[in-house]
Amino acid sequence: MGSAASSFPGPIAGVLEGDRSKLTAERLARRAKQRRQIQSMIGACFVLDAVVLLIYAHAGTTSVAVATGYALTGLTLVAIYVLLSELGVHERFGDHYLVAPQSAINMVNLLVFTYIAPEVGVLFLCNLFVVFGFGALRTSTRQTAIIWTVMVIGLAALFLGTDKPIGMPTGTRLDRLATMLVFALTIGRCMCLGIFSSSMQQSLYQSGLKLKEAYRRIEQLAEIDELTGAFNRRSIMRVLDEEIARSARSGSTTAVALIDLDHFKRINDVHGHPIGDEALRTFAISMFANIRSIDRFGRYGGEEFLLVLPDLSQDQAMRALERLRGIIADLDWSAFSPGMKVTISAGVTTLKPRENSDTLLARADGALYAAKARGRNRIAGA
């Protein structure tokens, strides 16, 4: 595959990449290493093909100069690609493997050697097929069309513009051995093409799974308050609107509670904001551990939270909040900071017929204000 491997791209991760300034030194080094590995494979393929040409030469079908010239030309191209890679030239392009130009150059090289040594043209033409196959894996439709056009023009010039007899030597046992090796190497390289194609598909599949997981995480983060793990305000309000619509359809009851951590500013001022954040997280965890699976809990703003309680009457909701208030008050908050104490106040109300979220929350807020006015660490209803 004297030049086929030049179209052998590295990991699919290089397809969609930003400009070089956005790449880390580690990633640049990894990509340069991948390019060196690819060029090493290409160099090995040139050497293998040169060995086959030497067998032809030993049989008297071609000259040693053809084998030597082909190997030197190929290895020179490899050295140029490696030098450009080490200088960072490849990183200036979207496809940092430069598959399209390498494929076109190597096709021209193969066509030239077919013209120079048509008596062993089968080797070069087989490699031409493999180069195009590997190049088509990574190039765009437009690039593939250009490479195909270059190949067709070259073949037309060779077959129609000259009377060179393109040989597939089989005259002697050495010729037959060399020709057999040409086809064996070509088939092997086609098998590599299939294996690599399968690898690309698997890589794309895995990348797709990771992308779906990333999107799922993004969607989750868009709904969740990062500090507490509760719904954020937008999400809990959407949940409330959905619950109101469900209640309207089914005629079921729905209660809500606006909950406020008492004197939270004082907690931040006395114990520090990191302790305040821990208090919010611990409060949220305690709530999640003690509410029903159908209840919905979100951060309404700052230290204020909204709890949506489907299918509960006013009395049931009041009892549920009183239980939660006691749980929060009984926690050992001094574990965070000596003398620290956290309590909650809540305003509870129940949805009325044809009521919207604004009026419902306004009544809950009024009840919360009443709970605070009565000394905090208590539940009030409206």
Query: pLDDT tens for residues 151-197?
Result: 899 899 999 999 999 999 999 999 999 999 999 999 888 888 778 77
Q: Where are the domains of the chain?
A: 4-216, 233-381
User: In sequence order, what are the beta bridge partners of 231?
Assistant: 224, 298
Superfamily of domain 233-381, CATH level 4 = Reverse transcriptase/Diguanylate cyclase domain (3.30.70.270)
pLDDT of residue 50: 94
pLDDT, position 202: 81
- Provide the token pair at 35: 């390019």
Complete DSSP assignment for 80-112? HHHHHHHTTGGGGSSSTT-HHHHHHHHHHHHHH
Share the mean pLDDT of the chain: 87
CA distances (Å), origin 23, targets 12, 38, 157: 16, 21, 44
Rounded CA-CA distance 106/112 in Å is 10
pLDDT in tens, 203-241: 777 878 888 887 777 766 678 898 999 999 999 999 999
pLDDT in tens, 81-110: 889 888 888 788 777 778 888 888 888 999
Give the integer Cα–Cα distance in Å for 191 and 64: 30
How big is the chain, counted in residues? 382
Tell me: pLDDT of 19 over 80: no
Q: Which of 92-106, 114-128, 271-285 has the lowest mean pLDDT?
A: 92-106
By three-state DSSP, how is residue 309 classified? strand
Write the CB contacts of 236 (distance below 8 Å, at least 6 apart in sequence). 230, 296, 297, 298, 299, 300, 306, 308
The mean pLDDT of 313-323, rounded to a whole number, is 96
Extract the tokens encoding 43.
Answer: 């160099």
Query: For the CA atoms of 51, 54, 55, 57, what is the dihedral angle to 10 degrees?
Result: 160
Whole-angstrom Cα distance, residue 39 to residue 169? Answer: 30
Mean pLDDT of all residues in 256-285: 94
Dist. CA 74–CA 4, nearest whole Å: 11
**Which of 259, 307, 310, 303 has the alpha carbon at shortest distance from 281?**
303
Residue listed under structure tokens 């302790």: 275
CB 284 within 8 A of CB 297: yes
- Average pLDDT over every residue of 50-71: 95
pLDDT number for residue 111: 92
Cα separation, 379 vs 309, in Å, equals 15
Phi-psi region of 240 (alpha: psi -120 to 50; beta: other; left: phi over 0): alpha
Report the C-alpha gap between 141 and 275 in whole angstroms: 58
Q: Write the CA distances from 236 to 96, 215, 229, 240, 363, integer angstroms.
A: 46, 20, 12, 6, 17
* DSSP labels, 142-180: HHHHHHHHHHHHHHHHHHTS---------SSHHHHHHHH
Question: Between residues 219 and 377, which one has the greater pLDDT?
Answer: 377
Please give the structure tokens belonging to residue 39. 């060029």
